């Protein structure tokens, strides 16, 4: 199964987890305290986020802390930039078409 | 020419892409450019892609069925079904990829276009709502390719220009 950053942000709970751990690293229990879902469900989301390489785990004593991979989030911005470019090009082409038609009408 | 307004935002929470652009032309002409196949095909596909509209029946319940054709001749079909039309003000369609026999690949996206004229310039606002961000990404997968080809194309032109100097 394909796992990437877009799959990670497609789910509202995962987006909320991302927002939480963007501030500081947290244990799965501390993350789960913020949601009305089961710990199991939070674990599942954390597993997906890990598979998407959007979070990293760090062992501190007996606890595992989850934190955000900021660099990976930037992939989203790159993707948006590509999309923006397509529209920019498309509309620049339309500018030319409009100006040609306007000249023909004169 | 490029001091015209261009605004592009992606709101991940509402799964909506919003694009606003101003054009140096009257409302009627800009409206035609978005709703008539002869004009649409001249600008819709970012070069070197070509837009090839097979059907355009601009009425509620009607559709535009077109392909984006790559320089290698590869076709990617899209169907846009018109769901609402207020002449020279607003139109909406449901957009979905399709096969060459017009069988849509769901889910698709909802597009809303609003037109307004001020001082001889026409402002167009487009919002695209996607059911899922994953889907939105798929919609752009080809865009990535386009974007990349486009960049190469520009580089090519730039190099030609520079070599003339």
DSSP 8-state class, residue B45: S
Owning domain of residue A39: 5-105
How does the average pLDDT of chain B come out, rounded? Answer: 81
Give the CATH number of the domain where residue A82 resides.
Answer: 1.10.10.10
CA of A94: which chain B residue's CA is closest? B43
In a domain, residue B32? The reply is: yes
Q: Distance (Å, rounded) from C-alpha B153 to C-alpha B71? A: 11
Alpha-carbon dihedral angle through residues A8, A12, A13, A17, given to the nearest 10 degrees:
60
Using the Cβ of A95 and the Cβ atoms of chain B, whether some distance falls under 8 Å is answered with yes
Test mutation, A82, A99, A101, chain B, max B CBs within 10 A = A82
Range B108-115 average pLDDT: 93
Point out which residues pair with B65 in neighbouring strands: B55, B79
Of A23-27, B20-24, B137-141, B155-159, the range with the lowest mean pLDDT is B155-159
The reported pTM is 0.66
ipTM of the complex: 0.73
How many structural domains comprise chain A?
Answer: 1
Which residues are CB-neighbours of B4 under 8 A, at least 6 positions away? A95, B21, B22, B23, B24, B121
Give the helix/strand (H/E) hosting A10: none
Q: Which of residues 65-84 of A touch B (CB under 8 A)?
A: 76, 79-80, 82-84
Is the per-residue pLDDT at B61 higher than 90? yes
Give the CATH number of the domain where residue B130 resides.
Answer: 3.30.530.20
Alpha helices (runs of H) in B26-118, residue ranges in sequence order: 27-35, 37-43
Q: Model confidence at B135, in pLDDT bands (50, 70, 90)?
A: low
What tokens does B17 get? 């892409």
How does the average pLDDT of chain A come out, rounded? Answer: 84
In a domain, residue B46? The reply is: yes
In a domain, residue B49? The reply is: yes
């Amino acid at each position: 199964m394909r796992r990437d950053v877009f799959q990670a942000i497609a789910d509202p709970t995962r987006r909320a987890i991302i927002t939480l751990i963007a501030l500081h690293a947290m244990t799965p229990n501390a993350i789960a305290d913020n949601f009305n879902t089961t710990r199991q469900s939070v674990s599942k989301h954390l597993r997906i986020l890990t598979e998407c390489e959007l979070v990293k785990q760090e062992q501190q004593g007996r606890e595992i802390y989850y934190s955000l991979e900021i660099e990976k989030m930037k992939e989203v911005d790159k993707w948006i930039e590509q999309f923006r470019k397509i529209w920019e090009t498309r509309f620049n082409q339309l500018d030319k078409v409009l100006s040609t038609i306007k000249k023909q009408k004169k | 020419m490029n001091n015209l307004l261009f605004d592009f935002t992606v709101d991940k929470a509402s799964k909506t892409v919003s694009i606003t652009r101003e054009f140096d032309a009257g409302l009627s002409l800009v409206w035609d450019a978005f709703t008539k196949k002869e004009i649409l095909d001249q600008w819709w596909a970012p070069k070197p892609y070509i837009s090839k509209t097979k059907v355009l029946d601009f009425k509620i319940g009607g559709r535009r069925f077109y392909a984006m054709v790559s320089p290698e001749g590869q076709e990617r079909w899209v169907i846009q079904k018109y769901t609402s039309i207020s002449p020279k003000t607003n139109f909406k369609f449901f957009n979905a990829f399709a096969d060459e026999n017009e069988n849509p690949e769901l889910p698709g996206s909802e597009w809303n276009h609003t037109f307004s004229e001020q001082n001889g310039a026409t402002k167009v606002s487009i919002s695209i709502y996607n059911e899922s961000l994953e889907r939105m990404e798929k919609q752009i997968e080809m865009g990535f390719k386009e974007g990349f080809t486009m960049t190469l194309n520009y580089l090519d032109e730039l190099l030609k220009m520079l070599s003339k100097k």
